[in-house]
Amino acid sequence: MPENRNPVIGLLGGGQLGRMLCEAANPLGIDIAILDEENSPAKQAHNTNLHVTGSFKDPARIRELAAQSDFLSVEIEHVETEVLEDIEENGVEVKQADGSTKTHRPPVHPSWRTIRLIQDKYLQKEHFRNSDKAIPIADQVAIASGPDALISLGNAATKFGFPFMLKARKGSYDGRGNFKVDSEADFEAAVQALGGLSLYAEKWAPFVKELAVMVIRTEDDKGSLKSCVAYPAVETIHEDSICTKVFMPPRDVSETICEAAKKLATEVISTLWGRGVFAVEMFVLEDGSLMVNEVAPRPHNSGHYTIEAVPHMSQYKAQIHAVLDLPVPSKLTSRVPSAIMLNILGGATPSAHLKLAELARDAFDDDMDVYLHLYNKASKPGRKIGHITLTGTSTIQDLEAKAKPFIDLVDQIRQ
Binding residues (CB under 6 A) for ligand ATP: these are 138, 165, 167, 172-178, 202, 204-205, 210, 238, 241, 281, 293-294
User: How many other β-carbons are positioned within 10 Å of the β-carbon of residue 116?
Assistant: 18
Choose the contact partner of 218 out of Mg ion, ligand ATP, none; CB within 5 to 8 A by kind: none
Choose the contact partner of 205 out of Mg ion, ligand ATP, none; CB within 5 to 8 A by kind: ligand ATP
Using the minimum distance from each CB to ligand ATP, give the nearer residue, 57 or 238. Answer: 238
Using the minimum distance from each CB to Mg ion, give the nearer residue, 141 or 212. Answer: 212
Using the minimum distance from each CB to ligand ATP, give the nearer residue, 17 or 370. Answer: 17
- Give the CA radius of gyration of the chain: 22
- Measured from the CB of residue 176, what is the shortest distance to ligand ATP in angstroms? 6
> Residue 391: which of 357, 358, 342, 318 has the closest Cα?
342
Using the minimum distance from each CB to ligand ATP, give the nearer residue, 71 or 231. Answer: 231
* Count of residues near Mg ion by CB under 5 A: 2
- Measured from the CB of residue 377, what is the shortest distance to Mg ion in angstroms? 19
CA distances from 303 to 211, 318, 342, 349, 401 (A): 12, 11, 12, 28, 22
Choose the contact partner of 75 out of ligand ATP, Mg ion, none; CB within 5 to 8 A by kind: none
Using the minimum distance from each CB to ligand ATP, give the nearer residue, 30 or 248. Answer: 248
The interface mask with Mg ion, positions 222-261, x = CB under 5 A, is ----------------------------------------
Using the minimum distance from each CB to Mg ion, give the nearer residue, 56 or 187. Answer: 56
- Measured from the CB of residue 119, what is the shortest distance to Mg ion in angstroms? 10
The interface mask with Mg ion, positions 118-147, x = CB under 5 A, is ------------------------------
Element (H, E) at 12: strand 8-12
User: How many other β-carbons are positioned within 10 Å of the β-carbon of residue 124?
Assistant: 22
Helix, strand, coil % in the chain, rounded to nearest 5 = 35, 30, 40
Using the minimum distance from each CB to Mg ion, give the nearer residue, 267 or 281. Answer: 281
Choose the contact partner of 175 out of ligand ATP, Mg ion, none; CB within 5 to 8 A by kind: ligand ATP
CB 225 within 8 A of CB 284: no
What is the SS3 assignment for 307?
A: helix
Using the minimum distance from each CB to ligand ATP, give the nearer residue, 193 or 225. Answer: 193
Choose the contact partner of 5 out of Mg ion, ligand ATP, none; CB within 5 to 8 A by kind: none
- Measured from the CB of residue 27, what is the shortest distance to ligand ATP in angstroms? 29
Q: Rounded to 10 degrees, what is the CA torsion of 407, 409, 410, 412?
A: 120
Using the minimum distance from each CB to ligand ATP, give the nearer residue, 203 or 262. Answer: 203
Choose the contact partner of 174 out of ligand ATP, Mg ion, none; CB within 5 to 8 A by kind: ligand ATP
> Residue 333: which of 311, 300, 317 has the closest Cα?
311
CB 33 within 8 A of CB 50: yes
CB 139 within 8 A of CB 204: no
Beta bridge partner(s), residue 392: 338, 368
d(CA 328, CA 51): 27
Q: Check the CA dihedral 87-93-96-102 and report its sign.
A: positive
Q: Which stretch binds Mg ion (CB under 5 A): 30-38, 201-209, 278-286, 397-405?
A: 278-286
Choose the contact partner of 202 out of ligand ATP, Mg ion, none; CB within 5 to 8 A by kind: ligand ATP
Choose the contact partner of 178 out of Mg ion, ligand ATP, none; CB within 5 to 8 A by kind: ligand ATP
Residues 291-320 that bind Mg ion (CB under 5 A): 294
d(CA 393, CA 399): 8
CA distances from 339 to 16, 17, 243, 310 (A): 20, 19, 16, 11
- Measured from the CB of residue 311, what is the shortest distance to Mg ion in angstroms? 26
Q: Which stretch binds Mg ion (CB under 5 A): 273-281, 326-334, 346-354, 392-400?
A: 273-281
- Measured from the CB of residue 294, what is the shortest distance to ligand ATP in angstroms? 5
- Measured from the CB of residue 328, what is the shortest distance to ligand ATP in angstroms? 24
d(CA 18, CA 205): 32
Using the minimum distance from each CB to Mg ion, give the nearer residue, 26 or 172. Answer: 172
Q: Report the b/e string of 370-405 with b at 16+ CB within 10 A.
A: bbbbbbebebeeebbbbbbbbbbeeebeebbebbee
Residues that bind Mg ion (CB under 5 A): 281, 294
